[in-house]
Amino acid sequence: MRAKTLVPVVLALAVIALGAAPASAQKVVKIGDLGSKVGVFEGYGKYQTMAIQMAVEELNAKGGVLGHKIEIISEDDETKPAPAVRKAEKLILQDDVKLLIGAVSSGSTLAVMDVTKKHKVIHWNSVSCAEFMRTTKFHKYYFSNQPDSRMQATGLAKYIVDKMGKKVYIFYTDYAMGQSDGRQFKTALEKLGGDVVGVAGAPLDTKDFSPWFGAINQANPDVLFVAFAGTDSLRLMTQLHSFGMTRKYKLAGIDCFLLQQDLPAIAEPMEGFVQLAHFSPYNQDKNMQAFNARFKKRFGTDANIMAGAYDAVLFWAAAAEKVGSFDADRIAEAQEGMCLDNTHIGRQCIRKEDHQVVMDMHLYQVKGGKNLPIATIAGKDSIGEPMVGKDPVEGFTWEIKKKN
């Protein structure tokens, strides 16, 4: 009796299993999403994941890459180099990812570059901007579509000298990213005849910036250039405002200073702030508007500069399709010089020599909590000469030139 009942059950299960087999048979290729999921850069990590997710969903809807369904494995690097290296090793050795995107913090990315170089894995970055990535730390598998410090400094320094004032105080977050931004900005500004009246660095995740305000006030600059990001920027702006310094000085900052989503909450301190970025949902560029509409439909919020991670997936997928393989060497070679028209800002091309995407940047000014475009800087004018293997800080000094 019992055996008789079992037979149809087993048969039914077998049919279900066989029926399910074709659907689950599609091969899978994994990609790694490494970034800050908590802490000072949490917002950037969150939007990086969303951008990757959107690209993967769109590609999977069209059949994936080389017939493989793309699967994302996300890891949190706690915004620290040591966990970033550990997680990158895990993504590569355990999960066998064919593409690694991240990290958010430049310090983490610099550390992860050694891992991707060692294991020969395609590595994209869409937010870290320290100048070492396309110079001394550059390797065959590393690609970036984030304007690095040199590109940003060239664009921003000219606008500041021309339109905002010549006496500038540089205040930066004292680790790889901020040091790099401060250095490149000082170099660019002095080259253009600007006068750096003071420099100071505050550690990452500083809670109270007021101890630095006395020195800034004493230097009495026209412009305060700030190279911070994430919750550091939020705290800094709130405190500068409470000390009346947002009204006293003109303020300008780097592209990752704050995400558009952060602005409404501190609209008053940020009013008039000039920020360089490659994307804003308030830019009327048709490509940005089209991308933002899709992003908003999918996630219910505007896109921001982290949308670069979307392009990273597209470039990698296009290169894999082109060479018909997930082989990292062949993909890296295919990506060199590759252009795509469907990125979040339209057409982008990867420069062969240093794997830097040549992208136009825009200057935005915050008005009523919105980043509104005020000028455009062509990518070809700001990217500078390739400096692979050369020390980008050779001969640099933080010393302030004394004027008589």
Binding residues vs another protein (CB under 8 A): 38-40, 42, 174, 201-203, 206-208, 210-215, 217-218, 231, 234-235, 238-239, 242-245, 248
Q: How many Cβ atoms from other residues are within 10 Å of residue 146's Cβ?
A: 26
Can you state the angle between helices 81-89 and 106-119, rounded to 10 degrees? 30
Contact 141, 113 (CB under 8 A): no
Instruction: Pick left, alpha or beta for residue 45 (phi over 0 → left; psi -120 to 50 → alpha; otherwise beta).
Output: alpha
Pick between residue 106 and residue 179 the one whose CB is nearest to another protein.
Answer: 179
Of the two residues 60 and 238, which places its CB atom closer to another protein in the complex? 238
Give the H or E element holding residue 29: strand 28-35
Q: CB-wise, 78 or 311, nearer to another protein?
A: 78
Smallest distance, Å, CB 172 to another protein? 12
C-beta of 218: minimal distance to another protein in Å? 5
Please report where in the chains the tokens 């301190």 appear, as a residue: 269
CB of 216 to another protein, least distance (A): 10
Judged by beta carbon, residue 241 or residue 351, the one nearer another protein is: 241
Tokens 């899709």, residue located: 294
Least Å distance, CB 210 to another protein, is: 5
Alpha carbons 343 and 310: distance in angstroms, whole number:
7
- Reduce the DSSP state of residue 239 to 3 states and report it: helix
Q: Of 66 and 245, which CB lies nearer to another protein in the complex structure?
A: 245
What region, left, alpha or beta, does residue 220 occupy, with left being phi > 0 and alpha being psi -120 to 50 degrees?
A: left
Reading the block at residue 141, the tokens are: 């598998």
Please give the span between the terminal C-alpha atoms of the chain, in angstroms, as a whole number. 106
Q: Tell me which H or E stretch contains 123.
A: strand 122-125
Residue 68 is classified by DSSP as B
Cβ closer to another protein: 262 or 354? 262
**Smallest distance from another protein to CB 242, Å:** 4
Query: Which DSSP symbol is given to 67?
Result: T
Structure tokens at 233: 């920027």
User: Looking at beta carbons only, is 211 or 389 nearer to another protein?
Assistant: 211
Least Å distance, CB 176 to another protein, is 15
Nearest-approach distance from CB 203 to another protein, in angstroms: 5
Q: Indicate the residue among 20 and 265 with the shorter CB distance to another protein.
A: 265
Minimum gap (Å) between residue 214 Cβ and another protein: 4
Q: Is the peptide bond before 88 cis (omega within 30 degrees of 0)?
A: no
